[in-house]
Structures are given as C-alpha cells and as structure tokens.
Amino acid sequence: MLRYLLNRLISLCLSLVAASLVIFLVIEVIPGDPAAFMLGLNATEANVAALREELGLGGTLPERYWAWVSGMLTGDFGTSYTYRVPVADLILDRLWVSLPLAGYALALSTAIAFPVGLIAASRRGTATDYGIMGGTQLGIAVPNFWFAMLLVLVFAVNLQWFSAGGFPGWADPMAAIKALTLPAIALALPQASILARVMRSALLDTLGQDYIRTARAKGLSRRQAVIRHALRNALIPVLTIIGLQFSFLLAGAIIIENVFFLPGLGRLIFQGITQRDLVVVESVTMLLVFAVILVTFLVDIAYAAADPRLRRK
C-alpha cells in the first residue's frame, strides 16, 4: 500500500512539472513577447518596455521559468496587471467561492445519483427503471444555464426563497450556503444524471457476477447481496466519474457563475483572458491543473481503498 502511494505521489509530481512546462511555453513563449501581446496593437515602445521590466521578462527562458515556479511554491503568483493586486489574493478570494460550490454540487449529485442508480439497477426493466433512465436522459440533455435561469425564475423571482444572484461572503455562513444553493443544484443536475447512469450500469455488471450468486446461495436476500457485495465492487467506475466531475465543476462552472453573478475562479480566468492579463491566466490555469492532478491522485487512493487488487501494484 505504501509503495502504491509513493508511486502515485511521484507520478503526481512529474505530472505537475510537465503541466507547468506546457503552460509556461504556451503563455510566455509561443505568443512571442507577452508584454506586447498584453498591451495590444496601439501600445508605445516605452510602455511595452516598462511592462517587460515589470513582468521580469529580461532573463533567459530557464531563469524566467524557475522564477515563476519558485514564486508559486512560496505563494507568490505575481501581480495582476489589470487589478494591480497580488494574483494570490485574487485566487484565494475566488477559491472561497468556487471550492465550496464545487463541493456542494458534487455532494448533491452523489447524494442523488447513488440511490437513484441503485433503485434503477435493482428494478431493471420495470417502469421505475425506464422512468429513471428517461429522467436522467433529460437531465443530461437540458443545458444547465437554461435550467439555472428556470431555477432563478421559480425560486428567486416567484417564490422568493433564494436571492437571484450575488455572493454575500462567508461572514454569515448560512447566507453564503443559501446563495450557493441554486447554482449548486443547477450544476448538480447533469452531473447527477450521468453519475446515476454510470452507477446503474456498474451495478448491473456486478449483479451478474458469480460472487453475487455465491452470496445468494449462502442465504443473503437480493437486497443484502446488493448492499454487501455489489455496491463496493461497482464503486471503481463511479469513482472515476466523480473525480472527473469534481475537476470539471471547479473550473467549468463559468457559465453558472455568470448566471448567478458569483465571483468564482471561472469568471476570474474569463476576465483574465478578455483583458489579456496573462499573469492571472497563467496562475489560475496552473492552479486548476494542480487541482485536477490532485483529484486524480485522491481518486487513485480511493481506488486502492475500494479494491485490494490494486494495492499490490
């Protein structure tokens, strides 16, 4: 088990190094002169030179790469050109919205998907199953921004249970959670639909396995066999999807963030791109990559916890 962990950890570090190199090359090298790119076509020579100075573009490529990486390791992500504040502060603020939102949405989607998938699988071929399959198909097909607007219309405008958007900050945790509820539901719906379908098919696979028959021959009821034997074996494909979904929720909530006026990471990177603030884009991208790799690592550990066969490798 320890060796497996160490192995995964080494692979995590290597992935990070590779990702940072790619990001560095794409943002700082391929556009030519980042300073000229950021200032646009009408920039004067003097302005460009000043920005070059400010961004520290003087050194050789390895020097600049090292300065960037070592800066990030010590928490210095540089200073945003448009906001004129340290990027680290910007990210930290936004992370306090995006991270809870992603977690909230994932918790919702898992909480919906597990029982729904379980019910569909154990009632395979019945009207319940068909109903659930149809419902999840709809959940995947409906665009989530449209669903988000529908939620706003019903729960914020008509019923006035929630506010239509904005984020009050974490000073009042209840208010913060309330503000994140509609966006989390909007994000969770398609994810839950996908997850429920994966759960169903994974369970159906395991229910056809010989060890379920063995369990039944030992005297377990159908229900006991599902809960004690099928569920954990069905977890591997489900965990894979959960990992992918979390990464997506962290960065991919950009449209939902816009619908609900949430100051999240998605909006930050979007603004960074439109304002050509390469410092912000570079750092946020790196952060997101880090998050994805970290989640993959956690999923790998979860695999090993779920399946003893993976621990030996």
Partner 1 sequence: MIRIDALSLSIHGLPILRDVSLAIGKGQIFGLVGESGSGKSMTALALMQLLPHGAEVTGRAILDEIDLLTKSEADMCALRGNEIGMIFQEPMTALNPVQTIGDQVAETLLIHDAATRPEARRIARDRLDRVGLSHIGMDRFPHELSGGQRQRVCIAAAIALHPRLLIADEPTTALDVTTQAQILDLLKDLVAEEGMSLLLITHDLAVVSDMADHVAVMQNGEIVEQGPTAQVLGQQNHPYTRALFAASSHQPDRTRMAGRAPLLDVENVSRLYPGPRRGLTRGDPVRAVDGVSFQLHKGESLGLVGESGCGKSTLTRAILGLDPIQGGAIRLFGEPVTPSMRNDLRAGIQVVFQDPYGSFNPRWQVEKLVAEPFHLMAAPPPDRRDRVAEALQSVGLQPADMAKYPHEFSGGQRQRIAIARALITRPRILVLDEAVSALDVRVRAQILDLLADLQSRLHLSYLFISHDLTVIRAITDRVLVMQAGRIVEEGETETVFTAPAHSYTRTLLAAAPRLDIMGRATTNAAM
- Residues found near partner 1 in the complex (CB under 8 A): 3, 209-211, 213-221, 224, 228-229, 232-233, 306-309, 313
- Give the contacts of 70 (CB within 8 A, at least 6 positions apart): none
Q: In angstroms, rounded to a whole number, what is the distance separating the alpha carbons of residues 300 and 212?
A: 26
Nearest-approach distance from CB 233 to partner 1, in angstroms: 6
Nearer to partner 1 among residue 178 and residue 216 (C-beta): 216
CB of 211 to partner 1, least distance (A): 4
84/309 with CB nearer partner 1: 309
Q: What SS3 class is residue 86?
A: strand
Tokens of 91: 């990210």
Encoded tokens for 263: 């100051």
CA diameter of the chain: 83
| Torsion from C-alpha of 68, 69, 70, 72, nearest 10 degrees | 90
CB proximity list for 71: less than 8 A, separation 6 or greater: 77, 78
Q: Compute the least distance from the CB of residue 117 to partner 1, in Å.
A: 18
Between 52 and 216, CB nearer to partner 1:
216
| β-sheet bridge partners, residue 79 | 86
Residue with tokens 């088990």: 1
Residue 221 Cβ vs partner 1, minimum distance, rounded to whole Å = 5
Residue 240 CB, shortest distance to partner 1, in Å, is 16
Q: Which is nearer to partner 1, 84 or 313 (CB)?
A: 313
Output 153 or 232, the one with its CB closest to partner 1: 232
